[in-house]
Amino acid sequence: MASLSECARKAGFGEHKIGAIELAAEEAIVNIIKYSYAGAEGTITVICSEDNDKRLHIDIIDSGPPFNPLMKDTPDTASGIDDRAIGGLGIFFIKKMTDDVSYRREGNRNILSITVEKEDREQGTGNREQK
Amino acid sequence: MEISTRKEKDVAVVTVSGRIDAITAPDFEGHLDGLIVQGNKLILINLSGLGYISSAGLRSILSSAKKLKGLSGEIFFTGLQGPVEEVFQISGFQSIFKIFPSEGEALNNF
């Protein structure tokens, strides 16, 4: 995790973005340990690279059985303490904290690709002028 | 992660700093459960020194909150800031728990 933060820092990402990247990576890794390897031993590889367009690409790779974490249901974030399911937030956080996330199966590997932009995208759609 | 607890009248005030991640969350939950077992019904958690929390941390909080609610108790918060506040917002935790701007205001409420 430290080397991932270092990769983001070298690419010029600020502390707030680095926190979001760490969170997304932790959630992805915990998910693999829980569901893809399901308690069995296995290797997880994290590859971090920067492109020419101020974006950081993080691939998180495991060799467990095919498992697409993005197919999980979105949790109900409006329910109260009693009805709130314990768990289910991890993948939701990855989607919320990053700019793009996709899954693919290559050979015997699951690859989760996360993209984070250096600058926050403009929040255009939600903030249109009200007439 | 560092945790300290003190008692203010009937309220156990838990101050946690550092990180609550998948590694440290079980310890945090164990600490809260210990307070519940000791009979504490009101737990105020001060997050002003917390720099990071992941879904594992939220899971621990929710699990303890459910136990405490079953005993007619309550967990509430103060000191939300930065990335921790953002995580509370995104997860909807900000609307399921009482959140106070300061310890003083939280304690005055009970």
Predicted pLDDT at B59: 95
Which of B24, B29, B54, B89 best tests the A interface by mutation, with the highest count of A CBs <10 A? B54
**In chain A, what are the domain boundaries?**
2-117
Could you read off the pLDDT of B56-93 as tens digits, one per residue? 999 999 999 999 999 999 999 999 999 999 999 999 99
Could you tell me if B71 lies within 8 Å of chain A, comparing CB atoms?
no
Q: Give CA–CA dist A62/A49, Å, rounded.
A: 18
> Around Cβ B22, how many Cβ atoms within 10 Å?
18
Nearest to A31 by CA among B4, B59, B66, B90: B59
> Domain map of chain B by residue range?
2-98
**In the predicted model, is pLDDT for residue A1 greater than 80?**
no
According to the model, what pLDDT value does residue A124 have? 41
Asked if residue A129 has pLDDT above 70, the reply is no
Task: Report how far residue B33's alpha carbon sits from residue B30's, in angstroms, rounded to the nearest whole number.
Answer: 5
| Per-residue pLDDT, A121 | 57
Task: Please indicate whether, in this complex, the C-beta atoms of B87 and A93 are within 8 angstroms of each other.
Answer: yes
Is the Cβ–Cβ distance between B27 and B58 less than 8 Å? no
Superfamily of domain A2-117: Histidine kinase-like ATPase, C-terminal domain (3.30.565.10)
Q: What is the mean pLDDT of residues A116-131?
A: 56
Residues A67-121 have pLDDT tens digits of 999 988 788 888 888 888 877 899 999 999 999 999 999 999 999 999 999 977 5
Chain A positions touching B64 (Cβ under 8 A) are: none
B32 pLDDT band, cuts 50/70/90, is: very high
Residues in CB range of B53: below 8 A, 6 or more apart: B19, B20, B21, B47, B83, B84, B87
Nearest to A87 among B52, B59, B90 (CB): B59
**Chain A CB within 8 Å of residue B54 CB:** yes
How far off is chain A from B31, nearest CA to CA, in Å? 18
* Confidence at A123, pLDDT banded by 50, 70, 90: very low
Q: What is d(CA B54, CA A93) in angstroms, rounded to the nearest whole number?
A: 9
Number of Cβ within a 10 Å radius of residue A110: 21
| pLDDT at residue B110 in the model | 78
CATH H-level, domain B2-98: superfamily: STAS domain (3.30.750.24)
pLDDT at A130: 41
List, for residues A16-63, the tens digit of each pLDDT value. 999 999 999 999 999 999 988 988 899 999 999 999 988 999 999 999
**Residue numbers of A between 5 and 44 with CB closer than 8 Å to B:** 16, 19-20, 22-23, 26-27, 30
CA distance, residue A86 to nearest chain B CA (Å): 6
A71 close to B (CB below 8 A): no
